């Protein structure tokens, strides 16, 4: 700066001196001194912000920036730890002539090998990101991502307890998305069931709303089928019956989920199934206003009555039966009932009074028994009153395929299938930040309605124009329909 004539030496020396003598500043923190000195010069009008940014860009290497982020991250990394790692890396013969960016990456990798950082934390620090704390929780890795937010694996800083944290970044907050987030927190707070993910905490930190839930080590049903393949009847029944129990509990508490789908059913490696995402749930509790009274759901799994503008705001528990039936169909076929075409085509298929035929179900579920396919058919009837009327009925109908210990059956099946890795790290974009400035049997009973295939329904199959918009954390989709 002096050589360029942009600032006098005496002014620079005075700014640096004031920084070095300020409380909390150590002589070893050269990067901090540089930044603080530039801030003083900008504040006093001796230097423009653009010029200060140029100085940073030309002065600090990626290794410098990695060190700065590491020391400011609150992850317990000290200058000595970073120096030791850097010295060990530079002593390696292959690193004698590499650039500082490669050294920074090698230092980060070494810290991961030493167990001082997770791969996620290392990647974030290399991008200069420093925020790994939400309330009392330290972020360890990202385990999910949706249109409106992120899900992280975190650890309570004092208790050491692993949790999942759903985050709604402030920069992505709309009135509707914030209401959905708050609504989910309220719904989970009212419910307590072994097959519902349990809420632990919620809050607001800096620029993000967050909700803390129990962490389940496993895979969502969508990923499980894609990774392990179609399920056998007994395993599918074991998983869906557990989800049905959770939905039954919600229905008993006058809550309709409205977005049941494979991505919202989580299967733990211990065989326990957890239902997720109550952000679109509709409450029928006395005196409680319904949230999102319009048409909401995910197009591949949405019930016909949810697509009808006349009934969308008042759908009952039979809508969840239909969506769970679509999910059951997916588990044994690998596809939703109407996989082809665009969203409008799929909406019209759901609204067609004629349900998918038993023959079609049997053809696509090649390894499923006729009776099992009958149960699926009974869940997918288009008229709500023709379907199973409660989750207890669904569970009873699946009873012929339920092993004595469903949870053990699921665990055994997963352990004998190809190895899964539920902790794959996500590659984050520039928008995925927590920083303040950056804002997926022998005997068989027939199911319900199993005489002739139903071809008529009282529901009118209107041709609808469907517009889809992303709504909340997860891959939930809200469908706005105009008649």
Q: Which residues are catalytic?
A: 259
Residue 441 CA to residue 462 CA, distance in Å, equals 41
In the block, which residue shows the tokens 């030791």?
Answer: 84
Distances (CA, A) of 391 to 95, 280, 299, 316, 396: 62, 19, 22, 12, 9
Query: Can you say whether the dihedral through the CA atoms of 364, 368, 373, 376 is positive or negative?
Result: negative
480 touches 469 (CB < 8 A): yes
CA-nearest of 274, 224, 234, 203 to 414 is 224
333 touches 230 (CB < 8 A): yes
H helices then E strands: how many in the chain? Answer: 17, 13
Burial label for 72, CB within 10 Å (0-12, 13-18, 19+), is middle
Angle between helices 9-20 and 30-43 (to 10 degrees): 120
Neighbours of 443 (CB within 10 A): 7
Cα R_g (the chain), whole angstroms: 28
Angle at 201 between CA 213 and CA 72, to 5 degrees: 95
Residue 141 CA to residue 150 CA, distance in Å, equals 11
Residue 354 CA to residue 461 CA, distance in Å, equals 10
CA–centroid distance for 51 within its chain? 40
Residue 38 CA to residue 11 CA, distance in Å, equals 11
409 touches 403 (CB < 8 A): yes
């Amino acid at each position: 700066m002096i050589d360029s004539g942009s600032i006098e030496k005496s002014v620079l020396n005075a700014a640096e001196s004031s920084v070095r003598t300020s409380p909390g500043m150590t002589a070893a923190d050269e990067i901090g001194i540089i930044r603080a000195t530039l801030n003083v010069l900008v504040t006093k009008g001796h230097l423009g912000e653009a010029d200060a940014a140029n100085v940073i860009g030309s002065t600090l290497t990626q290794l410098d920036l990695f060190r700065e982020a590491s020391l400011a991250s609150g992850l317990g990394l000290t200058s000595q730890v970073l120096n030791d790692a850097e010295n060990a890396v530079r002593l390696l013969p292959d690193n004698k002539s590499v650039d500082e960016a490669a050294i920074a990456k090698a230092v980060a990798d070494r810290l991961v090998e030493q167990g001082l950082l997770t791969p996620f934390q290392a990647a974030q620090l290399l991008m200069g990101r420093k925020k790994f704390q939400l309330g009392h929780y330290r972020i360890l890795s990202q385990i999910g991502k949706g249109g409106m937010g992120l899900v992280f694996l975190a650890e309570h800083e004092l208790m050491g307890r692993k949790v999942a944290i759903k985050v709604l970044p402030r920069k992505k907050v709309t009135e509707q998305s914030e209401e959905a987030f708050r609504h989910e927190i309220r719904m989970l707070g009212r419910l307590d069931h072994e097959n519902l993910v349990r809420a632990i905490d919620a809050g607001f930190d800096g620029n993000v709303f967050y909700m803390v839930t129990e962490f389940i080590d496993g895979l969502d049903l969508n990923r499980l089928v894609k990774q392990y393949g179609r399920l056998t009847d007994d395993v599918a029944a074991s998983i869906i019956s557990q989800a049905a129990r959770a939905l039954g509990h919600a229905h008993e508490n006058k809550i309709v989920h409205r977005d049941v789908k494979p991505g919202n059913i989580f299967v733990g490696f211990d065989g326990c199934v957890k239902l997720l995402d109550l952000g679109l749930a509709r409450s029928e509790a006395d005196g409680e206003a319904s949230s999102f009274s319009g048409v909401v759901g995910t197009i591949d799994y949405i019930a016909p009555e949810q697509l009808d503008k006349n009934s969308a705001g008042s759908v009952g528990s039979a809508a969840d039966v239909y969506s769970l039936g679509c999910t059951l169909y997916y588990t044994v076929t690998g596809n939703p009932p109407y996989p082809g075409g665009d969203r409008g085509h799929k909406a019209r298929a759901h609204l067609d009074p004629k349900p998918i035929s038993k023959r079609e179900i049997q053809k696509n579920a090649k390894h499923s028994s006729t009776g099992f396919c009958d149960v699926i058919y009974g869940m997918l009837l288009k008229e709500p009153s023709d379907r199973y009327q409660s989750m207890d009925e669904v569970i009873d109908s699946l009873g012929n395929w339920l092993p004595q210990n469903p949870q053990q059956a699921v665990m055994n099946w997963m352990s004998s299938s190809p190895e899964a890795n539920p902790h794959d790290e996500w590659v984050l974009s520039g928008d995925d930040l927590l920083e303040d400035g950056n804002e997926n049997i022998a005997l068989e009973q027939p199911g319900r309605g199993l005489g002739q295939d139903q071809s008529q329904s009282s529901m009118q199959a209107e041709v609808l124009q469907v517009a889809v918009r992303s709504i909340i954390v997860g891959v939930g989709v809200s469908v706005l329909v105009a008649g």
